[in-house]
Structure 1
Amino acid sequence: MMIGDAREFGEMIARARKALGITQRDLALAINSGERFIVDLEAGKPTAQLGKALAAAKAVGIRLDDVGNRRDRP
């Protein structure tokens, strides 16, 4: 799945978090962040810090592959 924008990324994080049965607060604690950051991230706020966003993705099991290594690229 290609992520087109911050909103889609946030929705992906929210779905994965809910599937794990953890709260936004739990996720924030897992990545040493504030709950407000998770709320903003899941809402698609485009100014979310990339490092924290990637940590949140990893914490809920989302793996972001390097698209530069994809074989199906033209």
Structure 2
Amino acid sequence: MITQIQTPLHLGSAIRSARKQLGLTQPQLALAAGVGVRFIVDLEAGKPTLRLETVLRVIDALGGTLQISGLPIPPEGNSDGA
């Protein structure tokens, strides 16, 4: 399933929905992702200043991946942003 995310609140809602569908509590997801429960609470609340690396760990713990569409594809071998 593809979920369109346009705001931190959309992301938080999608994370919460996935967690609940998997039957996980916030502490269980935090343990699975290697983060604190407070991080999960903040993420689900749509806090806009969370560290992307940690958000990706939570998405991975839920069995999801992050995909970006609509951006130009970088030339081969040039993924450093230069």
Unaligned stretches of 5+ in structure 2? Answer: 74-82
Segments of 4+ in structure 1 off by > 6 A?
none
Higher RCO, Cα 8 Å, sep 6+: 1
TM-superposed deviation, 1:61: 2.1
User: Once superposed, what is the RMSD of the aligned Cα atoms?
Assistant: 1.7
Unaligned stretches of 5+ in structure 1? Answer: none
TM-score, structure 2 length as denominator?
0.76
Instruction: Render the CA deviation track for 1:49-74: whole Å, top value 9, x for unaligned.
Output: 1111111111112222242479xxxx
Which residue of the partner structure matches residue 27 of structure 1?
29
TM-superposed deviation, 1:21: 0.3
Which structure has the highest helix share of the two?
1
Of 47, 60, 73, the residue aligned with 2:49 is: 47
Of 9, 12, 29, the residue aligned with 1:10 is: 12
Provide the rounded CA distance (Å) in 2 between the counterparts of 1:59 and 1:21.
Answer: 13
TM-score, structure 1 length as denominator?
0.84
Moved more, 7-16 or 59-68: 59-68
AA in 1 matched with 2:39: F
What fraction of aligned residue pairs are identical, expressed as a percent? 46
Query: How many matched pairs?
Result: 70
